[in-house]
Structure 1
Amino acid sequence: MAGPDFSEIFRQEAQDLLEQLEAALLDLEQSPDDRGLIDGAFRALHTLKGSGAMFGFDRVAAFTHRFETAFDRVRKGLAPPSRDLVAVALSAKDHIRTLVDAPAAAEPAEGEAILETLRGVVEGDAPPSAAAPPDRPVPAGAAEAPGASVTWRVRFRLPRNALVTGANPLLLLDELRALGRCTVTALTDGVPPLDELDPEACHLAWDVTLTTAHPRAAIEDVFIFVLDESDLTIEPHGEPHGEPLGEPPSGRAPPVPAPSAPPAGPAADAEAGEPDRPIPGDAPAGRRDADAAGARDPRPGTSLRVQAERLDELMDRVGELVIAQARLSQLAGASSDANVKSVAEELERLAAGLRDITMGIRMVPIGSLFGRFRRLAHDLSRDLGKDLELVTSGEETELDKTMIERLADPLVHLIRNSIDHGLEDAERRRAAGKPPRGTVRLGARHSGAEVLISVADDGRGLDAARIRAKAEEQGLLAPGAEASDAELFQFLFHAGFSTAREVSAVSGRGVGMDVVKRTIEGLRGTIDVATRPGAGTEVTLRLPLTLAIIDGLLVRVGRGRYAIPLSAVEECVELTVADDLRSRGRSFLNIRGDLVPFLRLRELFATAAPPDPYQKVVIVSAGDLRVGLVVDQIIGSHQTVIKSLSKLHADVETFSGATILGDGTVALILDVVHLVEFGQAREERLKAC
């Protein structure tokens, strides 16, 4: 059996770290005084450097080390976290991503240029005196004697499970030795009797006297990945000098040399080692192991990384199980054996629970998608010279992972258009009485069985007259033909349609919005556009929760059976003979005082079989619109496993897919959104007559 692909493990780990780094940098631009953001960015860089060196990504480790060295000046308060710093740091992050994903495509000269720019930013703004940051305690005399050695007392005890989780205290001690001359004392007061000793637990503690010219921060960095669960104290010990302390404190065991480890472990009264050892990435072995252990240390409540292909396969298996369960239920219904009926009911309950759990596994918070667009807005703000803010809401809204993956490109196009075409520049906004900073809002929320994702801006809004003129110019609309604003706005999604007066590097060629429409329709969703001249535009994407399994209402029309998504069904009523006769020519039903148009599916599907004497009407809705679907029989609810139609039927808009019934026959799934739009359009035509 093949072992794990460690390079792929590192790439997945690096992806998470780079996302953390990007989020911290973007937040830092808005909150430059937030110390936690600076430390978070530095911690992500530090972990990435150590893991890269450990997994053999030496170019990643070397570049990240130099990036980290420059950013360390920001962490120490020697350079301010300016907008220029964030911009070049984001470019450095992009270069690291290229080194991880496609190292052959990474240009060394480009990396050197980025690092040189980064060095210039952090050193050009550095204060003349390299004083220690004020929030770190410094022993007396250190500031008056720059570069002098200082003696520190370092005492630490690792958690009992430290050895199991991969931490190596010998390598941590080796890192301390690399900082200067040190004396190590092992504290054995926590070692239990032999018959109670757990060989996998860490029972020792250490007392280290370290004389070094490095700052306290360098000592803290040794323990950066075990700090949260360890008992650690770092205190100044004595005045600055160049010699190590003599005897250890009274009552302690005499210093003992640590067992040999590659490289040599720390020993009592060890000679001062090299402060900087030139290995790839300049990350000591102890740091690399600690980094990797800290990054992959499982914690209670953490998530488990699973390949997406396995989830897809699990979903397929659950779908087949649902189909088999439906067949068993059908057989049990025709059987008089009570045991068979009982087993069928139990299996139906278990299959429904397994379906819900599997669906829940596939659901992902949409915040994982929204986070990507913060960088897009940041870059467009710089490229277009527009001051803007991206505000997100509803990040906790969950959506099927397959849909989230396919939504990335449509949302990129919508956000670009909002920023480039929607938002005015600062001067025009001031002239219109608006704040100079524009706002783009990206939100998500649940609405019944749908998820609504909206992209809204407070810009100039859409010009319906200009859209009409462009549509007539391109032959999409007859001159003088009647068209509502909603119909005019849909022309924006035609290929090659653009009202932009100038073509920019971002948009304006009429390419992209047609991709948005095709993708959303492929997800069985719809697009709504609303605008207020001078106040902004909002584009709303209406999407189903999932593309895999839904609860459906099974109906019969003639001899054919069809499934209607149960989430879209409001109610079922009987079509009386009087209503049937009265509605001839004008198909409306009076539902508690509201006139609801209805469609006769027998006519729509050209069914030849005679109708049932008592037909039923299924009232379905999409958004605020309702329509009735006349069917011959309502069979009942059915767990519907959605199967995609073939490319031959790609243009059939009435159906969104198909499902396999318990007897092996196929039932088509009605596209409720299309049928509602079709019914409402027919109603408008009848009213105009």
Structure 2
Amino acid sequence: MTDCLDPVEAFRQEAAELLDALETTLLDLGQRPQDRDLIDAAFRALHTIKGSGSMFGFDQVAAFTHDFETAFDLVRKGKAEPSDDLVTVALAAKDYIRALIESPESTDAVIGASVIDDLKRVIDTGCGVGAGAQTASRGDGEAKVQAAGLADPAAAGWRMGVAFEPDILRNGTDPLNLLDDLRRLGACVVTPSVDRLPEIDALDPEQLYIQWRVELVSDCGGEAIEDVFVFVRDSMDLTLAPLMQQPGETAQGLALDLPMDEQTGVAASTPVEAAQSLPGSEADPRREPARRVDDRASTTVRVPAARLDQLMDRVGELVIAQARLSQLAATGSDLAIKAVSEDIERLAAALRDTTMGARMVPMGSLFGRFRRLVHDLSRDLGKPVEFITSGEDTELDKTLIERLADPLVHLIRNAIDHGVEDAERRSAAGKPAQGTIELSASHVGAQMLIRVCDDGGGLDVARIRAKAEEQGLIAPGAPASEQEIYQFLFHPGFSTAKALSALSGRGVGMDVVKRMIESMRGSIDIATNFGKGTQITLRLPLTLAIIEGLLVRVGIERYVIPLAAVEECVELSGSGASGGGERSFLSIRGDLIPFLRLREMFRSESAPDLHQKVIIISTGEMRVGLVVDQIIGSHQTVIKSLSKLHSNVSIFSGATILGDGRAALILDVAQIISAGQAGIESLRSEAA
């Protein structure tokens, strides 16, 4: 059984990356319409998709993309101006290409034709002065391009040598498509050179051995020919020389006049050499020969995500086995075993870090998806919105990134629909007509902070409370802090929308956000300034696979606290605590911090240790102390999910296996801190 990636599936993956890049480029073009690099980048992506689609049998993709490319070529040549309408239609065309690739049998050709018609209409209305002097249109399968630029008035066209690098087929380029593009410039005589073909036993089907000699009868300029090969220019040799034609002579009557090899009597071994011998052509002795594929340093390798997951599982088991070995070595007196144990521990740690690094993905791969969302919502709601991102290079575990997409979609939709006001209200409040949505990512310790900020109206505490009282979530007049009121936004079915719409009103969005973030062992902070905006912060661990933990003992059981959440450890003394029962307070450098006695929470029946310890944990600005009997030390924690039977146990996020083979539960810091904060509010209400 082979694990090789199917070529068609490889094309789909590469096309998806190209389409994502095309979408980003088009959105950038909407903001910077005069940036020629963006236009060239969009055209290059289209050209690559067309060539690869044709090579892998996606004829519909190649045909539609060719029409898209032909229309967009007017923009590239400066004959039509980019506009917001052009970007909108081009994005729709990009979506149609994706549909053709992912589910060609369910796509409607009528829709594709309509998209192309819209694209041509938008481009025609955006044509600049003099655009009619030079046009590109298709007819009878042939495009006619008019251009100027021949240096010699006696020249009737071009004589050229075309030699691609041998490995160009592996990059998804189809040379025959490029030769067809040459034919669209005028009458063409194409002569292949096959004398470099090896014996059948030595032939590599993925290597290109054929080169071409081309004579083109056309009044096009040399830049038109360069445009045909613009995206493979670094992977080929192209030589050009003017083609002289006698009056009345046709393309079919042209003599090829190929230089002949004196010994074999056949054409020169490479068309480039032949072209270099033509009048007006010059050989460049500094030009390097075409490099073979094995001469190139490979910088990236495409690996299925399932393999990385399997590798991570194996590394996790290795970490557990290494912990057992370290424990056995520590109890013995054999120095050789201890030395081997230390070496394996060092290598296992390095392997763990390397494997986790391979799973880390830049946040930019996720942030780029939301630019289209903001663009479309801004248009549909009639609210001009600027979308700003930062921290795109910040890396997060790929598993977390995949699960973050839906929560962020809900947060951004809410920010635009509920947060950003319409132009009239913004003007009355002295704000610019264009709203702002900011999406940022940053590392803080072993946590990832993702913030969604808007400059809208902020949260209306009174309105949220009134809705909560209406739904029976809180008794009228009952005391509640602002943070407690904000938590009602995450209650299932809760919505403050005055009317039901396609975007809001059903009260399911924020509920989904909370459940997804908590399933990733994360937490949500809300900060708002009424009339000025809202900031929602998601706090997430960097990975769900292996973490550094603090191993503690409570009674006879052991537990793991994520080390990233630990601020400090202090000894619990009689003078340092006040209050009693489950909830108490500890004064640390002037701050009053609530602490929870885990023995009482977990109902431990053994006698407490004489000198108990308090571990101060935090998330955001909230801090809580946890009283334990003993701090054992740091521990590499391989996280194992709890079974469905334990899904209602909220204060544990998972379990791990210790070096002696016993299991230890991992505390959910966010849930523990919520319990501690609830204790503070309860005591405050009792004191009031």
TM tier relative to shorter chain: 0.7 to 0.9
Q: Does the C-alpha gap of structure 1 residues 511 and 213 become closer, same or farther in structure 2, counting only changes over 3 Å?
A: farther
Q: Does the C-alpha gap of structure 1 residues 297 and 116 become closer, same or farther in structure 2, counting only changes over 3 Å?
A: farther
> In 1, Cα distance between the equivalents of 2:295 and 2:387?
34
| Matching residue of 1:672 | 669
Residue 627 of structure 2, aligned match among 626, 630, 639: 630
Stretch moving more, 395-404 or 204-213:
204-213
> In 1, Cα distance between the equivalents of 2:316 and 2:369?
32
Residue 227 of structure 1, aligned match among 202, 226, 233: 233
Equivalence map 1:489-528=2 (5 Å): 489-528=486-525
Residue by residue over 1:177-235, the C-alpha shift from the partner in whole angstroms, topping out at 9 and shown as x without a partner, is 67445688999xxx9xxxxxxx9999999886533245545422442343125454657
Normalising by structure 1, we get a TM-score of 0.84
The answer for unaligned runs of 5 or more in structure 2 is 136-145, 197-203, 276-289
Matched, 1:12 2:13: yes
The answer for unaligned runs of 5 or more in structure 1 is 192-198, 269-292
How far 1:373 moved relative to its partner?
A: 0.4
Q: Secondary structure at the match of 1:587?
A: strand
Q: Which amino acid aligns with 2:393?
A: E
> In 2, Cα distance between the equivalents of 1:454 and 1:538?
7
How far 1:300 moved relative to its partner?
A: 4.0
CA contact (8 A) 2:260 2:266 kept: no
| Matching residue of 2:133 | 131
| Matching residue of 1:66 | 67
How far 1:172 moved relative to its partner?
A: 6.2
Identity score, percent: 61
How far 1:681 moved relative to its partner?
A: 2.7
CA contact (8 A) 1:615 1:632 kept: yes
Q: Which amino acid aligns with 2:449?
A: L
> In 2, Cα distance between the equivalents of 1:179 and 1:671?
67
Normalising by structure 2, we get a TM-score of 0.85
> In 2, Cα distance between the equivalents of 1:8 and 1:160?
23
| Matching residue of 1:444 | 441
Q: Secondary structure at the match of 2:233?
A: coil
CA contact (8 A) 2:93 2:116 kept: yes
Residue by residue over 1:2-24, the C-alpha shift from the partner in whole angstroms, topping out at 9 and shown as x without a partner, is 56422211110110111111111
Q: Secondary structure at the match of 1:304?
A: coil
Residue by residue over 1:374-428, the C-alpha shift from the partner in whole angstroms, topping out at 9 and shown as x without a partner, is 0001111111111111111111111110110001011111111111111111122
How far 1:33 moved relative to its partner?
A: 1.2
> In 2, Cα distance between the equivalents of 1:29 and 1:563?
50
> In 1, Cα distance between the equivalents of 2:355 and 2:151?
63
How far 1:122 moved relative to its partner?
A: 2.0
Q: Secondary structure at the match of 1:598?
A: strand
> In 1, Cα distance between the equivalents of 2:177 and 2:69?
21
CA contact (8 A) 2:652 2:665 kept: yes
CA contact (8 A) 2:378 2:384 kept: yes
Q: Which amino acid aligns with 1:415?
A: I
How far 1:330 moved relative to its partner?
A: 1.2
Residue 210 of structure 1, aligned match among 194, 208, 216: 216
| Matching residue of 1:57 | 58
CA contact (8 A) 2:211 2:270 kept: no
CA contact (8 A) 1:183 1:267 kept: no
Q: Does the C-alpha gap of structure 1 residues 658 and 202 become closer, same or farther in structure 2, counting only changes over 3 Å?
A: closer
Residue by residue over 1:549-570, the C-alpha shift from the partner in whole angstroms, topping out at 9 and shown as x without a partner, is 0011111100100011111112
How far 1:164 moved relative to its partner?
A: 8.6
Q: Secondary structure at the match of 1:614?
A: coil
CA contact (8 A) 1:185 1:252 kept: no
CA contact (8 A) 1:549 1:639 kept: yes
Q: Which amino acid aligns with 2:312?
A: M
Residue 402 of structure 2, aligned match among 386, 402, 405: 405
Q: Does the C-alpha gap of structure 1 residues 28 and 310 become closer, same or farther in structure 2, counting only changes over 3 Å?
A: same
How far 1:506 moved relative to its partner?
A: 1.8
Q: Does the C-alpha gap of structure 1 residues 150 and 125 become closer, same or farther in structure 2, counting only changes over 3 Å?
A: farther
Equivalence map 1:133-152=2 (5 Å): 138-139=148-149, 150-152=156-158
Residue by residue over 1:246-283, the C-alpha shift from the partner in whole angstroms, topping out at 9 and shown as x without a partner, is 8899999899758999xxx9999xxxxxxxxxxxxxxx
> In 1, Cα distance between the equivalents of 2:223 and 2:490?
56
| Matching residue of 2:601 | 604
Matched, 1:333 2:330: yes
CA contact (8 A) 2:554 2:599 kept: yes
Matched, 1:391 2:388: yes
CA contact (8 A) 2:46 2:69 kept: yes
Q: Secondary structure at the match of 2:110?
A: helix
| Matching residue of 1:616 | 613
Q: Does the C-alpha gap of structure 1 residues 4 and 256 become closer, same or farther in structure 2, counting only changes over 3 Å?
A: same
> In 2, Cα distance between the equivalents of 1:337 and 1:246?
89
Matched, 1:468 2:465: yes
CA contact (8 A) 1:322 1:351 kept: yes
CA contact (8 A) 2:148 2:219 kept: no
Q: Does the C-alpha gap of structure 1 residues 266 and 669 become closer, same or farther in structure 2, counting only changes over 3 Å?
A: same
Equivalence map 1:240-279=2 (5 Å): 243=249
Q: Which amino acid aligns with 2:467?
A: K
